[in-house]
Amino acid sequence: MPEGPTIKNMADRLRAALTGQVIIAAQSRYKKAKEEDWPALLVGRSIEGVRSHGKNLFIELSGGYTIYSHMLMWGSWHIYQPGEEWQKAEKLARLVLETPEKVAVLFNAPLCEVIPPENLQNHKTIALGPDVLADDFDPSEVWRRMHLPENREKELGEITLDQTILTGIGNILKSEILFRAGLHPLKPAHSLTQEEFDDFIRYSRELLQSSYEKGMRKTFIPDWLRPEITGFGFVYRRRNSPCHLCGTPIEMVRQGEMQRSTYFCPVCQPRQGEIIPFQTRLKPLEERLRLTRQLEPGGPKD
Ligand SMILES: [Zn+2]
């Protein structure tokens, strides 16, 4: 299930493999591709750059054309050498771009378009909120969008996934970010104090950047908490299991039109009242681990 950091990695790999190369063949299974004659539009164009914005991926071509793809839950771009065996079945390939040196294959992605230059400024992706992983990410723009009349009553769990407010956070990262920030997912957007918002942004940036660099598994549970803490994250898919930090059973709610699941600890993420910072909540566990490791035969591990 790709989230923003995965797509940014995918864009890095495509950029490194394809930039500067000319498309010498293009095949596609999309219905649109036939209607719009994509091979005629694409062959002969050079690839000038690849960028991501949240979960949206853009391949920029000469002449101002852009190949836009969105992976949703299933899509992925693979890069192969000419003649190399593919890792997925050929019938799953939706778009194949060949250059003299590489073959780029888009598998399973339900959304792909070739955008001519004159349509770029009206494309639906213009409405996307700031990308949490972008160097020029602007939190004040997220604050502004969150407080628009149509958004201010929305629950935080919905806000976090709303691509018109901010982009890059998927369903798994959502639960782990809100847990660290101590924010109850049912709180309405407008109820956040500036300090709570700042924490939300800080943990979003931290967890997305770390996921981009080393993957989600290593991000959610730091190495020093292993092997005592097993599993994927603090809350994600841990419904009814005790919170690693306070022992309270983890709960799950479904939110938004898509009824996406959000996992949370009702004590670490109080619906009202004071929020205890993540580092403070973590302290007792840290102490406990230090103690057990020292008492183990052979002395402390680290
Ligand atoms: Zn807890």
pLDDT at position 133 is: 95
Question: What strands, in cross-sheet order, belong to the sheet with 56-61?
Answer: 47-53, 56-61, 66-70, 111-115
pLDDT in tens, 182-223: 999 999 999 999 999 999 999 999 999 999 999 988 999 988
Contact 184, 270 (CB under 8 A): yes
Verify that 45 and 172 share a domain, yes or no: no
Count of domains for the chain: 2
Ligand 1 centroid from CA 241, angstroms: 11
Whether 112 and 225 share a structural domain: no
Same domain for 152 and 118: no
- Three-state DSSP class for residue 33: helix
Q: How far apart are CA 213 and CA 216, in angstroms?
A: 9
Q: What is the CATH number of the domain that holds 258?
A: 1.10.8.50
CATH number at residue 20: 3.20.190.10
Residues 167 and 286 occupy one common structural domain: yes
Q: How far is the CA of 80 from the centre of ligand 1 (A)?
A: 45
Q: Alpha carbon of 169 to those of 6, 47, 158, 166: distances in Å?
A: 11, 28, 11, 8
Question: Residue 230 falls within a domain, yes or no?
Answer: yes
CB 193 within 8 A of CB 277: no
Mean pLDDT over each residue of the chain, to the nearest integer: 94
Q: Quick one: pLDDT at residue 282?
A: 93
In a domain, 131, yes or no: no
Whose structure tokens read 């290593």?
A: 218
Residues 6+ apart with CB under 8 A from 173: 3, 4, 204, 207, 208, 211, 216
Q: Is residue 132 part of a domain?
A: no
Closest by Cα among 129, 63, 59 to 99: 59
- Both 147 and 270 in a single domain? yes
- Looking at mean pLDDT, say which of 128-132, 291-295, 297-301 comes out highest: 128-132
| Residue partners of 271: CB distance under 8 A and separation at least 6 | 184, 186, 187
159 and 266 assigned to the same domain: yes
Q: Mean pLDDT over residues 147-157, rounded?
A: 97
Residue 133 maps to a domain: no
Can you give the pLDDT at residue 159?
A: 97
Q: What is the pLDDT of residue 227?
A: 83
Q: Is residue 259 part of a domain?
A: yes
Residues 148 and 229 in one domain: yes
Q: How much distance in Å is there from the Cα of 131 to the middle of ligand 1?
A: 29
**Whether residue 220 sits in one domain with residue 146:** yes
* Token pair of 243 as six digits: 């919170």
Domain for residue 38, yes or no? Answer: yes
Dist. CA 147 → ligand 1 center (Å) = 29
Over residues 216-255, the pLDDT tens digits come to 889 999 888 888 888 889 999 999 999 999 999 999 999 9
Domain endpoint, select from 78, 101, 126: 126
- The answer to whether the beta carbons of residues 189 and 146 sit under 8 Å apart is yes
Lowest mean pLDDT, pick from 5-19, 95-109, 285-299 = 285-299
Higher-scoring residue by pLDDT: 47, 228: 47
Last residue in a domain, options 126, 152, 183: 126
User: Do 239 and 152 belong to one domain?
Assistant: yes
- The helix-helix angle for 139-146 and 194-214 (nearest 10°) equals 120
Is 54 within 8 Å of 71 (Cβ atoms)?
A: no
Contacts 24+ apart (CB under 8 A), 141-150: 142/166, 142/201, 143/197, 146/189, 146/190, 146/192, 146/197, 147/189, 147/190
Question: Among 72, 103, 126, where does a domain finish?
Answer: 126
**Is residue 13 located within the same domain as residue 43?**
yes
pLDDT at 288 over 80: yes
- Quick one: tokens of 219? 């991000």
Assess if residue 301 is contained within a domain.
Answer: no
- Centroid of ligand 1 to alpha carbon of 291 (angstroms): 21
CA of 182 to the centre of ligand 1 (A): 9
Give residue 237 CA to ligand 1 midpoint distance, Å.
14
Q: Are residues 86 and 9 in the same domain?
A: yes
- How many angstroms does the Cα of residue 105 sit away from the middle of ligand 1? 43
Same domain, 173 and 87: no
Instruction: Provide mean pLDDT across the span 148-163.
Output: 97
Give the domain extent around 172.
139-295
Task: Tell me whether residue 134 is in a domain.
Answer: no
Pairing of strands 251-255, 260-264: antiparallel
